[in-house]
Amino acid sequence: MREIPVWFERQFTFAFLADIYPTLIVRLRGTPARLEEMVRDLVPEQLTHRFDAKWSIQENAGHLLDLEPLWSARVDDFLAGAETLSAADLTNRKTHEARHNERTLEGILGGFRAARQALVERLDSRPKADFARVSRHPRLKTPMRLVDHLYFVAEHDDHHLARIWQLRRRPRR
């Protein structure tokens, strides 16, 4: 099975026009449905099983929920004209301490859907010019537009959806 590239090793080039923001908002809006589709037929043992001491399917889903406040804070940063975006906790402490495997899947999925819905509804009401606003990404050390941030979030979503898909297909040892 092919390995998914390590997230923190990914490089990003934001060479597209800010005009693609509607497509990215639709992509972000669809993540909860894609996640739900991937996990709906799994039993708790499949959802919570860890391979190689890495996050389980349910922990990956919980991580998506855990990052929604950061994505929203960064939208606030763009709209406020902040020089630098809010920093992420690169240790993912929130996810490690959340005990997502002890929570209900329905709670994680419902929380993620509600948080993501709030984010995209906020974005839907923004004027086109806002998507070209620029702030500096704290880890990448590069200027980023709001539209680039949306792409970054969508790629992060897909990174974890790919990991979930990989875990679904992995035979248990």
Domain edges within the chain: 36-169
Total residues found in the chain within this entry? 173
Give pLDDT tens digits for 124-156.
999 999 999 999 999 999 999 999 999 999 999
Q: Decide if pLDDT at 8 tops 70.
A: no
Angstrom distance (rounded) from CA 15 to CA 168 = 34
pLDDT band of 13, cuts 50, 70, 90: confident
Tell me the one-letter amino acid at 70: L
Beta-carbon neighbour count of residue 54 at 10 Å? 10
pLDDT at 74: 98
Q: Are 60 and 163 in contact (CB under 8 A)?
A: yes
Q: Rounded to two decimals, what is the model's pTM?
A: 0.93
Q: CA 65 to CA 110: how far, in whole Å?
A: 9
Whole-number percent of the chain with pLDDT over 70: 97
pLDDT higher at 1 or 144: 144
Q: pLDDT by residue (tens digit) across 21-63?
A: 999 999 999 999 999 999 999 999 999 999 888 999 999 999 9
CATH classification code of 36-169: 1.20.120.450
Residues with Cβ within 8 Å of 38's Cβ and at least 6 positions away in sequence, in order, are 161, 164, 165, 168
- 10 Cβ partners below 8 Å, 6+ apart? 155, 159
